[in-house]
């Protein structure tokens, strides 16, 4: 498979998917300023290239939230991944296991906890939305424990659903209409490989984890309606008493973008945070994740394991995040593009390329272990000034 880089997988994904699904993966909120900032700020960072350093032996391994990892990269939670390839979450989870990396299953996945657990027969992690029905939340956490999930990621940056102009234009989140229905069917019929693989053979198309409250065959528009009506906008830091009553393993908050929130997370016994703006899909006009990472790392000190996502498309991007203090980096769109564009083998190849790129960039910066990465050793002085002046 001659695919080189995440941007190439993106091209393949666009070819394979009906437009409404590609735009869902690819787009962000409103004018997509935050989406663009995530990539632009990573691109603008400059490495410090070193020479004549013995880089014969490279060690990319690490441990995060009790899991030994072959490199400090994980597959973050992606909603509806089973709509990109047949039972897509199981494909990505198997690829993560083969690579020695963690997989985080979304609450809004097509494949439910039990299906993923049976497919990989290995520990994985689970992402949780807290909804108004606390009984359902309690049962969902128990299901995660029963299938062997070892870390729980609570997403906090979706108190309400954002308006995403691309999804409105594509018809994914708009009210159904006759003309819109014709457009959807045209997109499906002109993508026969996807229509057979997912549309016919990939059933059921319901979000498996929500089956107890939504049934087996709701329409996509029904999900947006249900999520909008059931996300609990009243949740506060006090609700971690409830979550801790249900979960005694590593608990990570996904969606921290402010140093004060990081300090509060440490004070209530959280184990880690993911610095993320939801891939630019929520608050448009928010800063990029890489620009906020150093300040949140400083605020967290040694009380929290700080990770990040947002705009990461290469091993070089991973190295930049590690240099800014992240203990690990989660891929989102990168694995969604790879899955949609080339299936399970695509995710395998994408992860292998990320690993090769990370090792290569580390070597040229004169660093041989991810445990030894420091900003001053890896980043050019101009970049250091920029991130300290943010």
Structure tokens at 344: 């399970």
Residue 140 lies in a domain: yes
According to the model, what pLDDT value does residue 170 have?
Answer: 86
pLDDT by residue, tens only, the chain of 390 residues: 788 899 999 999 999 999 999 999 999 999 999 999 999 999 999 999 999 999 999 999 999 999 999 999 999 999 999 999 999 999 999 999 999 999 999 999 999 999 999 999 999 999 999 999 999 999 999 999 999 999 999 999 998 888 899 988 888 876 666 556 788 889 999 999 999 999 999 998 888 899 888 876 777 677 777 888 888 999 999 999 999 999 999 999 999 999 999 999 999 999 999 999 999 999 999 999 999 999 999 999 999 999 999 999 999 999 999 999 999 999 999 999 999 999 999 999 999 999 999 999 999 999 999 999 999 889 988 887 777 655
In a domain, 175, yes or no: yes
DSSP at 293: H
Q: Are strands 62-64 and 67-69 parallel, antiparallel or unpaired?
A: antiparallel
Number of domain units in the chain: 1
CA–CA separation, 160 and 290 (whole Å): 24
In a domain, 125, yes or no: yes
* 1 domain residue, yes or no: no
Structure tokens at 37: 């900032």
For residue 369, what are the domain limits? 6-389
Q: Quick check: is 291 in a domain?
A: yes
Torsion over CA: 354, 359, 364, 366 (sign): positive
Give Cα 254 distance to the centre of its chain: 10
pLDDT (0 to 100) of residue 113: 97
Strands 73-75 and 305-308: unpaired
CATH number, domain with residue 255: 3.20.20.70
- Residue 37: C-alpha distances to residues 79, 153, 215, 279, 331 (Å): 22, 24, 39, 10, 17
Residue 172 main-chain phi, psi, to 5 deg? -70, -40
| Alpha carbon distance 359, 369 (integer Å) | 9
The helix-helix angle for 134-146 and 113-120 (nearest 10°) equals: 10
Label residues 18-47 b or e (16+ Cβ within 10 Å = b): bbbbbbbbbbbbbebbbbebbbebbeebeb
- Provide the 10 A C-beta neighbour count for residue 368: 19
- Listing DSSP states for 318-356 in one string gives HHHHHHTT-SEEEESHHHHHHHHHHHHHHHHHHHHHHHH
Q: Which of 16, 154, 191, 278 is catalytic?
A: 278
Provide Rg for the chain, Cα atoms. Answer: 20
Percentages (nearest 5) of helix, strand, coil residues in the chain: 50, 10, 35
In this structure, is residue 189 part of a structural domain?
yes
Q: Say what the pLDDT of residue 356 is.
A: 97
278 part of the active site: yes
């Amino acid at each position: 498979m001659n695919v080189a880089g995440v941007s190439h997988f993106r091209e393949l994904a666009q070819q394979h998917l009906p437009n409404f699904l590609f735009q869902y993966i690819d787009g962000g909120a409103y004018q997509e300023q935050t989406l663009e900032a995530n990539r632009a700020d990573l691109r603008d960072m400059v490495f410090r290239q070193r020479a004549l350093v013995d880089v014969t032996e490279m060690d990319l391994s690490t441990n995060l939230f009790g899991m030994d990892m072959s490199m400090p990269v994980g597959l973050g939670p992606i909603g509806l991944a089973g709509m990109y390839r047949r039972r897509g979450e199981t494909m990505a989870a198997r690829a993560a296991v083969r690579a020695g990396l963690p997989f985080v299953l979304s609450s809004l996945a097509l494949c439910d906890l039990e299906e993923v657990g049976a497919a990989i027969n290995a520990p994985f992690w689970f992402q949780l939305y807290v909804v108004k029905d606390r009984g359902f939340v309690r049962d969902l956490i128990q299901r995660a424990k029963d299938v062997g999930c070892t870390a729980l990621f609570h997403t906090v940056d979706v108190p309400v659903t954002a308006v995403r102009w691309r999804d409105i234009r594509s018809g994914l989140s708009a009210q159904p209409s006759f003309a819109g229905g014709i457009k959807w069917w045209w997109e499906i019929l002109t993508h026969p490989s996807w229509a057979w693989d997912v549309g016919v053979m990939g059933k059921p198309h319901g979000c498996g984890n929500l089956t107890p409250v939504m049934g087996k065959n709701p329409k996509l528009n029904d999900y947006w309606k249900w999520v909008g009506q059931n996300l609990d906008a009243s949740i506060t830091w006090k609700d971690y008493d409830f979550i801790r009553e249900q979960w005694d393993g590593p608990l990570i908050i996904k969606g921290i973008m402010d140093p004060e929130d990081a300090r509060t997370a440490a004070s209530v016994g959280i184990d880690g945070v993911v610095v993320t703006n939801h891939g630019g899909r929520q608050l448009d006009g928010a800063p990029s994740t890489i620009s906020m990472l150093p300040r949140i790392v400083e605020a967290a000190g040694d009380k929290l394991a700080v990770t990040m996502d947002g705009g990461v498309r290469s091993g070089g991007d991973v190295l930049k995040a590690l240099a800014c203090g992240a203990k690990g980096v989660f891929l989102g769109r990168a694995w969604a593009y790879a899955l949609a564009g080339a299936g399970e083998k695509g995710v395998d190849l994408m992860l292998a390329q990320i690993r090769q790129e990370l090792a290569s960039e580390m070597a040229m910066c004169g660093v041989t272990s991810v445990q030894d990465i420091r900003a001053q050793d890896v980043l050019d002085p101009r970049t250091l000034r920029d991130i300290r002046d943010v």
